[in-house]
Amino acid sequence: MSVDVLLPSPVPVRFVAEDGTAVPPPTGYRVPEGERLLEGFRRMVVGRRFDRQATALTKQGRLAVYPSSRGQEACQIAGVLALRDDDWLFPTYRDSVALVARGLDPVEVLTLLRGGWHCGYDPAATRVAPQCTPLATQTIHAVGMADALRRKGEDGVVMAFIGDGGTSEGDFHEALNYAAVLRAPVVFFVQNNKYAISVPLAKQSAAPALAYKGIGYGIRSEQVDGNDLVAVLAVLDAAVEHARTGGGPFLVEAHTYRMDPHTNADDASRYREKQEVERWEAADPLARLETYLRERGLLDADAVGAAHEAAEKFAARVREDMNADPEADPFELFEHVFAEATPQLREQRALLASELED
């Protein structure tokens, strides 16, 4: 395969400028249909409201911790819109908005961060792997799942989410290499939000762009403006089609920005200037898409109002559902270690039972 075919665009692919005006479309990508962009807008509105609600729930003690993805909504939503229901998603802990957008129950999504259990949803039924906290380890699982789909003759695609910090981990590189050697139908989607907790991108990598990390492995790669939903969706559509039609893996880097601290427990003022965050407000993905759609006559004030109303209803439901105390059965601790508890676990279960009786 020629290197030219693999190389990403020298500048991030963009369809819509920060002020919402269309720029000359880059070659090689199709503009997504208006209805999909509208759906993207609606889900971004709900996603941002959900994200704000989740952060609020940490302050009320209803969530143990929440890693916000505010500012990354174009990536969160496009990643989901590019997939079919029978495709698989391997997310990280920062991708709750994407999971809600895929239709997962928000309480089940928040079960991990609420401290109720490690994963609240059914990965087999939803085709969403448990949100992964150890960095980059999920990328190689995604390759295995993609290879499994190929072996079963299914034309499903697997998308692995990862952040900029995660691309420094060895597992990411092993995953890229395995995916290329196996020609696995997997899309690696890097949301480069510029910070790994406090460490800025410049200290993470000296690569001209993270998208170039695919070249050495023989993987076709692209970089895209991660705050331009039209561009992210167009590029991910192409990446998914490439993987689905036997072209092998695809690496996409989206340039975006983490507007909030790492989590509610983090203090971002220790490592970045307020002015930097304010500059990124001008690149807000939601305002940009709204302007673009309005100028094209695809969206009006009524539709915007309806989207926000739906988001408020969604947030109210999340609030209400999360206000109930979660139920926890201490004996469940022993149930899922093995298919059948060992004699030692049965003894320990009996010990706990006697403690609970006291």
The site string for other proteins over 174-213 (x = CB under 8 A, - otherwise) reads xx-xx--x--------------------------------
CB of 1 to other proteins, least distance (A): 17
> Residue 200 or residue 331: which is nearer to other proteins going by CB?
331
Nearest by Cα to 255 from 290, 272, 280:
280
Tell me the backbone φ, ψ of residue 316, rounded to 5 degrees. -65, -40
CA distance 187 to 209: 17
Among 4, 27, 152, 327, binds other proteins (CB under 8 A): 152
What are the φ and ψ backbone dihedral angles of 105, each rounded to 5 degrees? -65, 125
By CB under 8 A, residue 155 contacts other proteins: no
Amino acid at 357: E
- The smaller minimum CB distance to other proteins, of residues 15 and 188, is found at 188
Backbone dihedral region for residue 71 (phi beyond 0: left; psi -120 to 50: alpha; all else: beta): left
Sheet holding 220-225, edge to edge: 88-90, 158-163, 186-192, 250-255, 220-225
Judged by CB under 8 A, the residue of 142, 233, 289, 311 near other proteins is 142
> How many other CB atoms are found less than 10 A from the CB of residue 312?
14
Q: Does 143 participate in binding other proteins (rule CB under 8 A)?
A: yes
What separation in angstroms does the CA of 286 have from each of 43, 77, 178, 209, 314? 10, 11, 36, 24, 18
Q: Which of 25, 115, 144, 247 binds other proteins (CB under 8 A)?
A: 144
Q: Name the one range near other proteins by CB under 8 A: 67-75, 172-180, 197-205, 266-274.
A: 172-180
Which residue, 48 or 127, has its beta carbon nearer to other proteins? 127
Q: Annotated active-site positions, please?
A: 258, 262, 271
Footprint of other proteins on this chain (CB under 8 A)? 117-119, 122-125, 129-130, 134, 137, 139-149, 151-152, 170-171, 174-175, 177-178, 181, 332, 335-339, 342-344
